[in-house]
Each structure stands twice: as structure tokens, then as C-alpha cells.
Structure 1
Amino acid sequence: MGGSTFSIRRRIFALAVSLLLVAALALAAFIHDYAQRAADRAFDRLLAASALTIAGAVQIEDEAVLVELPFAAFAMFSGSDRLFYAVRGPDGALVTGYDDLGAELAPATSAEPVFQDLSYRGETLRLASVGRLLSSADAAAWVTIRVAETQNEREALSAEILSNAMVPLAALTLLAIGIVWFGLGRTFAPLSALEQELRARSPDDLSPVTVPVPAEVSQLVAALNLFTGRLRLAIERMSGLVTEAAHEVRTPLASLRAQAEIAMDEPDADRLRKRVARIHQSAAQASQLVSQLLMDATISHRLEMRDARPTRVDALVEEVRGRLDAAAAERLDVFISDEAAEAELLADRVAIREMLRNVVDNAMLYSSGLVEIVAGMSEKQTVKLCVQDRGPGIADGEKDAVLERFKRGSTGEGKTGSGLGLAIVKRVVDSHGGTLQLADREGGGLVVEMELPLLRTGSVGQAASHVAAASILLVGLLLLPVQGLANETRYPALSPSFQGERTLTIVGTTDTPLFAHFIEGFQRTRPDVGVLYRETDTLVMYEEFLDGGIEPKPDLMISSAADLQLKLANDGHALAHASPHLATLPAWARWRGEVIGFTFEPAVIIYNPRLLAESELPRTHLRLAELLEEQPERFRGMVGTYDIAKSGVGYLLAAQDQLISSNFWRLAAAFGRARVHLSGSSPDILDRVARGDLALGYNVLGSYALARQAAGAEIGIIVPDDYVLVLTRTMLIPRDAPDTELARAFVDYALSPQGQSVAAGEVALGSIVPGSFGRFTSEAISARGRGAIQPLALGPSLLVFLDQQRRSRFLATWREIVSPR
């Protein structure tokens, strides 16, 4: 390329930097400092308020420091920050919270908040320390309260202030845009010359572009020159092929015409027969050439389409034999080992058949004796197809040449042929990842060895369509699922890739038959992925994960106990995922991109219609308490609810009930008098109510109840008229997940319209994304009751109920009231 080059970037930089650099940097530094100080002041006050709120709840009881964490202490926080806290007694011993938070810091000796930055669990936290002076019988002493948060939100606020305070820079920016516009007009002038050069060229001018261009465009021009070079070579190859084909066809046609003209004037019958024989030979040669050219074009098209399917070796050989005429078929002997007969190739059936037939036809043409096809397995576990004849063979110096187009060996003189047969064979073998070798046969003759890779062992092959494969898989799951442990189910890939099946490991609390619908839908989008699903309980999953006892390690954890999932994320065990569907979720159903909800599940009251009349149905929480108080003997042992000490979701719902309802402990007392049946799961309560063992079930997940009712179970569902707790089943990707790419893909599917239609369908888990389609959308479920919808928002406030002391005191009070026996 001629001419000098210059940089557009440098020209723009030279025009703009002189006006922007000094003013913009100085003003931006001032605004940044101001924004940082303003954000720190705002969030430090929030931290101090949280610490002082906890300090106000600290008390001494029986000479022990106690604190029941107030809900407001964490409810004031929102957004994407992680929270940590610790309360330490006068002796430095942990009362509640995180034992390793600020353990090395000096105790607080003042009620004034003290702030500092602290490195904790790989992040920089802002820590507020507050003292609370308590007096006991002996003396007064200081209790230390520490609350810390990550700094994402304050950094976001600082960035917002910075972005909103850049008005002084706007004028400079507009000025810079004008300068850049002017500069670009001058800088891109050389490109106009390039455009004119290309427009002025004739269609057959594929020579390199030599117009001087800027350095930034030189690579584009170089790529254009490379492309035109490749195009020129392709045209030359095409022209060469047409020329060669025309030459090869012209020769037999010219001979055919000459022989026919001579034969027309030949009076002698013997000579006429010889002329006719030559005409026939020329016609056969032309016909052979045309057939081979057409086959060459057909094979080229099929190889480009890549229509590979499982093909058995024995069936392939039999198909080739069946296409021979009777005389040729009698000359063909086939020897196939038992192992090779059962083997399958992943190949284009037509291409591989014509490849083998070409070799057999050549062997028949050049030899008069038997031709053998020998199929066996090689040491590399590939199929080796050998075609052997007793013909003249091919000289060693010609073995490579005869694999080229229109090239024939010296032994082919006098034989009808086109020189395309072995070239076609080589192309087919190469495209299937195999090898081709021409070898001399012991005792005379030629051996053509074709070695082809097998279809991967255990593969289900390529299905006729993904829909058919999905149907087969679903039937297999219903009739004969592949079971591992009692609570594990494996779902093989619909169509494994050549690299093998990838496995997504999910641990979840959703019933396997319900979750199978999500797995089936996901595998339609990713047929190369197998899924291992392990069903467990909420609290068990949480504790096993912390103990490192989940094997194999999960790629994705799914739980209805959102508070336990949030605790794992807050403690740094989760990866964030910026799903493209995240913005469609309600704000309450996502936190930091680490805990993501995908269902809409109300807590409902269920009943047996045979045991409870329509007129006496308890449609509010208060009415349920009154009903149990009015008829204690009737409902003794006939009411079921969660055992909140064993069920994570049961504890979450009970804690939220206690927070919202002033009648919660009255209802708990009514449960105690009625000797309520405590269960670890909704399905157990549903089974007992449907059988009539229980008349009522409280705080049952509406998703399970709606699914059972839709399936014909004899249960009624009450969506309370006072308030309705709604939780969302959450997804979390562990930080040490073996395959995060598959986990992210499943999260994206669950939030997509396809995944939400599954949730809104027969599984009845409820779609959380507004505007979804199906019977059980969030809008349709909300319309079933008249009560206020109270979603359990994913946020720091959920951590309050997991505080060790608060949980312990709550459970102790619950046991004392509900199940004192």
C-alpha cells in the first residue's frame, strides 16, 4: 500500500484535549471529593442509627446480657450492601452476631458512635461502634454494639451526586462536541478518496486497494485486500474447474462425433461394428464423467449442509451391495467383524455411501476377480473400512497424485474413468475427520483403507427433532427415571455434543415431579446439557452447605426459605449474575443479583370440604383463632402447620406473621390448645387434609395447594382476606460452583417468558414477572383473595429473624405455647 498514514485519534485528541484537560480534571476532582464526603455523612448516620437501635434493645436478665434484635435495626437498610453485626458483653464475649467482626478492636466506652474502615471477608466495610452502659446488682459496665456494611450503596450515592453535579462541565462538553465534529469532518476526508476508488472499479477488478488511508483504517483495507485475494483465487479455481470439466467432456464428445461420422460412411460390417464399439466407449466415458461431476456437486452440497446422523456400518455396506448389478454383486465379498457390525458412524449417509461405492466401482473396473470389503475396529477404536482388489494397483509415486481432481494413474490407460472418484473419496473422509490410505496388497492389487471415527459411546445421537427427543425423554422420566440416591434424579442430555455431555447440578427444595417441568423446558433450549437434581429440605440444605457436606458440589441452589439464601449471600457465599431478565422482576424479588426469585407463592389456609362447611370457613387470621377457641374439642389434633424448628420456610412465615399480626400469639395459643400437628413440609399437610386426617392446614404454600387442587385433590383453599404473605422461591449460584455458565443459563431460562410460563402452568408455582401468560400468574393469584398482599422482600431485614438470640427466644416461646408437651 502506498502513501503515508496518520491517526484520526491523535487529530481528535489534539483538537479536544487543550480545551478540556485542565478545567475538566480540576472541576471533576472537586466534585468527586464533595460527593464522597456527602455520601459518607449520610450512610454513617444510617449506621449509627442502626447501632443505637440495637443498643436500645440490650438488657440484663439474670446477670446475663440479652438482646432481641429489633426489626427496625436492619429494615432501614436497602439496596445491595451486605450487613454484619456483633454485640459483645462487658467481658468481650459474643452475645449475638458475627464472632469474627471486630474481635481485635477495643471495646466501646462511649455512647457516641465511632466510625472506621475495616477489612473483613475480602471486602472493605464501614464499621460503627456504639457503647451501652448497663448497671447490674454489682456494678455498671459497657456493652459494645458494632454494625458494619459494605460500601456499594455509598459509592453509588457518591457516583449519583458526581453525575448530577457535572453541570459546569456540560458547556465544555458541548464545546468539545463541536470541535470534534469539525475535526471529524476534516479527518475523514481521506476516506472519501477510498470510497471513490472502490466505486470507480469495474466488477472484474480484484486488485489490491492502494489509496492512502489513516492508520485506523489500514487494517480494514488490508482485510478487504485479503478478501478480494481469496475471492480472486476462488474465481480462478472455479474457472479452472469449468475449463478442466469442459476439456474432459469435449474429448469424449469429439471422439464420439468423429467416430459417428466415419461410421455413417463405413460400408464394411466388421469395421462398422468396431466403430460402434468405439462410439460406445466414448459415450460411456462421457456418461461416466458427467455422472462423477454431478456426484461431486451433490457431495459438496451435502458436506456443506452437515446432515450427520447415526449410521450403522453393516447397513451401510449392505446398501452399497444392493446398488450393484447382479454380476458385480457376485464379485463382492464382505467380511465384517461382530464389533464393527454393531458400530455406528455419525456421518452423512449419502456421502459416506457414495464414497464407499466409488472405491468399490474402481476396484471392479481395474480388476476382474473378487473384490473384498473388510470392516473392523482399529486400535484407536475407530472403524476401518478396507476395499481390496487384485488389479494392477497404483505406483508409489502416483498414490498422492491420484487423490487430486482429474488425475489418473498410469495403470488406468484404456479404462473408462474421470479422475474424480478418489478425489471425492478423500473429501468425504476428510470432512468426517477420518484418514485415507492407498496401500499395495500382498500378492498384487490395491488396498484402499478408510478409517472413520465412531459415534460417541452412550450418545443418544441426533434426534429427528428436539421436540421428539424431548417427548421421548419425558416418557422415560415418567416411566423409568435414572435414580442415584433416594433424593437424586438424573436427566440425561437430549442431544450430547461431540465433546460429551455437560451436567448441571441443582440442589433444591421443590418437589422433583414439579421441578421436572423446569428441567424439561431448560433442556429444550440446551439439549447438550444433562441435569442432576437433588431434592432436600430448606434447613438441611443450608446447614449441609455451610458444613461442606453437599456432594457433588451444586452449581445452583434453589430454596423457598429466602432468609437462609439471603444469609448465605450476605456472608459471601454467592456469585452475582446480571441476567438480561433481571429488570423484569419486581424490586422485592432480587438482591444484589445474588439472590433471585422466580415464583409467586402465597401462604394460604387449606381445609377438607367434607369436614368444614362453607359458612364456617376462617377467612382471616383472627377468625381462625376464634374458630379454634370456640370449638377446641372438635379441632383437637385436626389442624396442621409447619414445625418451625425444622422447616426453614415455616420459621420465615411464622416470624413474618408475628411481625405483622397483633393476633399471632393468640393464634399460637389456639394451636396449642388444639394440639396442632407439626409437619416439616407442605406436601405432608396437604396429604393429611386431603385424606381427612386433618380438617385445616395453616400457612401452607399456595403453589403446592393450587397444584393439588388442579390435579383433583379434595381440598379447599382460603386466601386470607386480612393479609396474605407471599414468598418467592429463590435461586443462588454458590461462589465455588463447578459450572457457573450452566447455572447462569438456568437462571436466565427460569426468568424468561418460557420459564415463567412453566411457573404459571400446571406446576402452579406462580409466575412472578408481570404480564406472564398462564393460569397461575401473580395477577391471577392475587385476585383470589381480598387481603393486602405482603411480599417477603429480599433484603437485609430478613437477617433480623436469623439472629441467634432472637431465633432462640422465638422458638422457645413458640414451643412453650404451641407444643408444651
Structure 2
Amino acid sequence: MRLLVLSLVLSLAAQALAALEIEDRRLFGPPEAARQLRILSTTDIAIFAPRIESYLSLTPDLAIDYVVASSTEVMKVASAARAPFDLVISSAMDLQTKLANDGFVRRHSSEVTRDLPAWASWNDMVFAFSQEPAAIVVSDAAFADTGIPRSRQDLIDVLRRNPERFRGKVGTYDVRASGLGYLFATQESRVSETYWRLTEVMGGLGARLYCCSSEMIDAVAEGELLVAYNVLGSYALQRQDAGISIILPSDFTTIMLRTAVIPETATEPALAGDFLDHILAQAFGDDPSLSVDRWLSNSEMALSRINLGPGLLVYLDQLKRAAFDTEWTNAILQD
């Protein structure tokens, strides 16, 4: 009977993985390991690998199957009846909060989580291990004669004065497809009307729409774009040598919390909790490369941190989402 149950579980897990649009995947540790931790994440392997390797150095008999997918795909699989993962990591903190609110997440409490600052966890279910800014990435060559813009208004002014230069050369998220893009857009629109003015200007220039930060940053580095708006600063740092500048807007910089949750369907919840404690201890420790505070050293930045909690669910309401999508579409698609 136990073998039959195990076979059924593995079959269901295989079906869920087959339905998932995987962007990347890597097995860390020995393939023959007796235990395996399965992680579903929106974070690129190169960004997250140091945390995994650090943990495996302490637990050499373990393997970690790390699967990368879009935030929309992550939400779809994590809310399935048989999600075959032990830990879910996402940059779309509103979707993570919805998973918890809808009963798809286990509670986790430990000495590490009890010492977290209040803003870094919600209801012992959603845990933040990084604070990351939404940045503007620009081509240095494109702004050689105008100077690098330091605020959204600066960028609006340059784009309006040089429409032919920037036509078809500005990129941003397609908020209809990107969970992170939707989160940035909705939260930014609550802070300032400048967001809508800039969106209309980008739309008038035939803005190109993307799913992911890495694609936009690569496009700037390769000359396909001259401006990428609202990309993840941590990803942009990987391309600092590519003739690009990373702008943290001086009017306000939106700060996203990258979060982790343990699904209710996890088959290794204790192991997931131990790994979670490890990355949280790293994040709130002294390692400057992993510390959640590494972005806050610039005192000139006006920070606008997106807070965990039920307030994130407001724009996930179907009617509010439909209204926002319509307004955004009218602003960005002006054909």
C-alpha cells in the first residue's frame, strides 16, 4: 500500500510539473541523495545559487531541485491541489500573500522567524529575505548629451524632447502577464500620478513590453532598448560592465520584498523550514552580498517599501484588476 501511495504522489507531481512552463532548472547536490528539497521560484539560478550552495555545505547528503518559472506560473502551480514543491519563492509578494490568505501555505515559527523585524513576515506564513528596488536601466551612450536622468520627471522630460531617438527603444513590463510588473505598477500608481504621466509618454513612443527583468536588461546592454523601466536592481547589478547605468529614482524608489512560503502540500515541510531559517539568518546577518539592507545605504533615496499584509490583496480583486488593466492598456497601447 505504501508503494502504491508513493507511486500516486509521484505521478501527480509529474503531471503538475508537465503543466508548468519551466524557464530554467538545476539540481544542486548529489543526484543519489536520500532526501531532496524541491523549490519553485521566480528568482534566476545565478542570483539564488549562493544561498543554496551555502546551505548544502552544511548538509552534504541533501539535493535541492530548483525550478524557475514566471510569477504567474508559480501562482498557478502553488495553488494547485498537489503542488509538488516544498518551498515557493517569488518576487510577486502580493501573490504570495494571496496564497497564504487562501489557505495554501503552512505556518512556520522558529527562533529565527521570531527575531525578524515586523515588516519581514506576515502571520508566520510569508517571509521576506531581501529588499530590492525597482530600478530604471539606461544606455549610457543614449544619454551622453543629456545627462543621466535621476527622477521620473527627468526621464519624462528627456523622452519628450527626443521622441525620434527613443521611439521603439523604451521597454517595461507587460503588467497583464507579469505578476511582478503588475505589483510594481499598482503600488507605484498609489504613490504618485507621475507613474501615469510616464506610462503615457512611454506608450506614445511605442514602448516594448516584456515579461522579465533579465530580458529588458539584456536588451539595453545589447542596444535593442535605450531605457528599461522598473526592472529589478539586483538583476541589473549583474550587467554593470555593459555600458549601462542603474537609476534608483530620487523622487521615490519602490522597494519590493522577495518572499518565501511553505506550501500546505509540502512533503518535506521540516526541511523547507530549516532551509528558510538558513536564508533568513543570512539575509539579516552580516553578509553584505545577501543582506536585506544592502540597498539602503544611499541616504538620498526616498524609499517606498511595499508592506506585507492584506492591503496587497486590494488590486487582486477581479473588478479592481480589470479596471487597472484597462487604464494601463489605454495609456501604454496608443495605436
Q: TM-score, structure 2 length as denominator?
A: 0.88
The answer to whether residue 40 in structure 2 is matched with residue 503 in structure 1 is no
The answer to whether residue 127 in structure 2 is matched with residue 625 in structure 1 is no
The answer to whether residue 17 in structure 2 is matched with residue 488 in structure 1 is no
Would the aligned equivalents of 2:29 and 2:56 in 1 still touch at CA under 8 Å?
no
Would the aligned equivalents of 1:588 and 1:791 in 2 still touch at CA under 8 Å?
no
Q: Supply the distance in 2 between the matched residues of 1:719 and 1:578 (Cα, whole angstroms).
A: 34
- Closer, same or farther in 2 for the Cα pair 1:667/1:599, shift >3 Å? same
The answer to whether residue 246 in structure 2 is matched with residue 717 in structure 1 is yes
The equivalent residue for 2:133 is 602
| Matching residue's letter, 1:728 | L
- Closer, same or farther in 2 for the Cα pair 1:624/1:776, shift >3 Å? farther
Identify which of 782, 805, 813 aligns with 2:296. Answer: 782
Give 1:733 deviation, angstroms: 0.3
The equivalent residue for 1:674 is 205
Q: Deviations over 1:526-549 (max 9, x none)?
A: 112111111100011112333447
Q: Deviations over 1:661-682 (max 9, x none)?
A: 1212111110111111110000
SS at match of 1:738: coil
Would the aligned equivalents of 1:721 and 1:785 in 2 still touch at CA under 8 Å?
no
Q: Supply the distance in 1 between the matched residues of 2:70 and 2:214 (Cα, whole angstroms).
A: 12
Would the aligned equivalents of 1:642 and 1:679 in 2 still touch at CA under 8 Å?
yes
SS at match of 2:239: helix
| Matching residue's letter, 1:562 | M
Give 1:558 deviation, angstroms: 0.3
- Closer, same or farther in 2 for the Cα pair 1:584/1:719, shift >3 Å? farther
Would the aligned equivalents of 1:493 and 1:501 in 2 still touch at CA under 8 Å?
no
SS at match of 2:304: strand
Q: Deviations over 1:304-324 (max 9, x none)?
A: xxxxxxxxxxxxxxxxxxxxx
The equivalent residue for 1:437 is none
The equivalent residue for 1:424 is none
Give 1:630 deviation, angstroms: 2.2
The equivalent residue for 2:269 is 740
Identify which of 708, 711, 720 aligns with 2:239. Answer: 708
| Matching residue's letter, 2:300 | R
- Closer, same or farther in 2 for the Cα pair 1:738/1:719, shift >3 Å? same
Q: Supply the distance in 2 between the matched residues of 1:794 and 1:603 (Cα, whole angstroms).
A: 17
The answer to whether residue 322 in structure 2 is matched with residue 808 in structure 1 is yes
SS at match of 2:164: coil
- Closer, same or farther in 2 for the Cα pair 1:797/1:624, shift >3 Å? same
Matching of residues 265-344 of structure 1 within 5 Å: none
The answer to whether residue 107 in structure 2 is matched with residue 593 in structure 1 is no
Would the aligned equivalents of 2:78 and 2:104 in 1 still touch at CA under 8 Å?
no
The answer to whether residue 77 in structure 2 is matched with residue 544 in structure 1 is yes
Q: Supply the distance in 2 between the matched residues of 1:549 and 1:638 (Cα, whole angstroms).
A: 43
- Closer, same or farther in 2 for the Cα pair 1:519/1:574, shift >3 Å? same
- Closer, same or farther in 2 for the Cα pair 1:779/1:743, shift >3 Å? closer
Give 1:777 deviation, angstroms: 4.2
- Closer, same or farther in 2 for the Cα pair 1:629/1:560, shift >3 Å? same
Would the aligned equivalents of 1:518 and 1:750 in 2 still touch at CA under 8 Å?
yes
Q: Supply the distance in 2 between the matched residues of 1:572 and 1:683 (Cα, whole angstroms).
A: 32
| Matching residue's letter, 2:206 | R
Would the aligned equivalents of 1:606 and 1:716 in 2 still touch at CA under 8 Å?
yes
The equivalent residue for 2:6 is none
| Matching residue's letter, 2:78 | F
Q: Supply the distance in 1 between the matched residues of 2:93 and 2:289 (Cα, whole angstroms).
A: 25
Matching of residues 29-44 of structure 1 within 5 Å: none
Would the aligned equivalents of 1:719 and 1:784 in 2 still touch at CA under 8 Å?
no
SS at match of 1:812: helix
The equivalent residue for 2:45 is 512
Aligned residues with identical type, % of pairs: 38
| Matching residue's letter, 1:749 | H
Identify which of 558, 568, 571 aligns with 2:99. Answer: 568
- Closer, same or farther in 2 for the Cα pair 1:776/1:708, shift >3 Å? farther
Q: Supply the distance in 1 between the matched residues of 2:174 and 2:125 (Cα, whole angstroms).
A: 28
The equivalent residue for 2:230 is 699
The answer to whether residue 179 in structure 2 is matched with residue 642 in structure 1 is no
Q: Deviations over 1:191-241 (max 9, x none)?
A: xxxxxxxxxxxxxxxxxxxxxxxxxxxxxxxxxxxxxxxxxxxxxxxxxxx
Give 1:787 deviation, angstroms: 2.6
Q: Supply the distance in 1 between the matched residues of 2:66 and 2:289 (Cα, whole angstroms).
A: 26
- Closer, same or farther in 2 for the Cα pair 1:776/1:615, shift >3 Å? farther
Q: Supply the distance in 2 between the matched residues of 1:635 and 1:549 (Cα, whole angstroms).
A: 47
Identify which of 304, 307, 317 aligns with 1:793. Answer: 307
Q: Supply the distance in 2 between the matched residues of 1:505 and 1:633 (Cα, whole angstroms).
A: 48
SS at match of 1:728: strand
The equivalent residue for 1:346 is none
- Closer, same or farther in 2 for the Cα pair 1:509/1:775, shift >3 Å? closer
- Closer, same or farther in 2 for the Cα pair 1:777/1:492, shift >3 Å? closer
The equivalent residue for 1:521 is 54
Would the aligned equivalents of 1:719 and 1:785 in 2 still touch at CA under 8 Å?
no
Give 1:601 deviation, angstroms: 0.5
The answer to whether residue 241 in structure 2 is matched with residue 727 in structure 1 is no
Q: Supply the distance in 2 between the matched residues of 1:545 and 1:776 (Cα, whole angstroms).
A: 26
**Greater Rg by CA:** 1
Structure 2 stretches lacking a partner, 5+ long: 1-21
Q: TM-score, structure 1 length as denominator?
A: 0.37
Identify which of 629, 637, 659 aligns with 2:190. Answer: 659
Structure 1 stretches lacking a partner, 5+ long: 1-484, 757-768
| Matching residue's letter, 1:724 | T
Q: Supply the distance in 2 between the matched residues of 1:630 and 1:615 (Cα, whole angstroms).
A: 10
SS at match of 2:143: coil
Which protein, 1 or 2, shows the higher relative CO under an 8 Å CA cutoff with sep ≥ 6? 2
Q: Deviations over 1:25-82 (max 9, x none)?
A: xxxxxxxxxxxxxxxxxxxxxxxxxxxxxxxxxxxxxxxxxxxxxxxxxxxxxxxxxx
SS at match of 1:644: coil
Q: Supply the distance in 2 between the matched residues of 1:572 and 1:743 (Cα, whole angstroms).
A: 18
SS at match of 1:599: strand
Moved more, 715-724 or 779-788: 779-788
SS at match of 1:730: strand
Q: Supply the distance in 1 between the matched residues of 2:169 and 2:217 (Cα, whole angstroms).
A: 13
Q: Supply the distance in 1 between the matched residues of 2:252 and 2:210 (Cα, whole angstroms).
A: 23
Q: Supply the distance in 1 between the matched residues of 2:323 and 2:313 (Cα, whole angstroms).
A: 15
Q: Supply the distance in 1 between the matched residues of 2:165 and 2:70 (Cα, whole angstroms).
A: 32
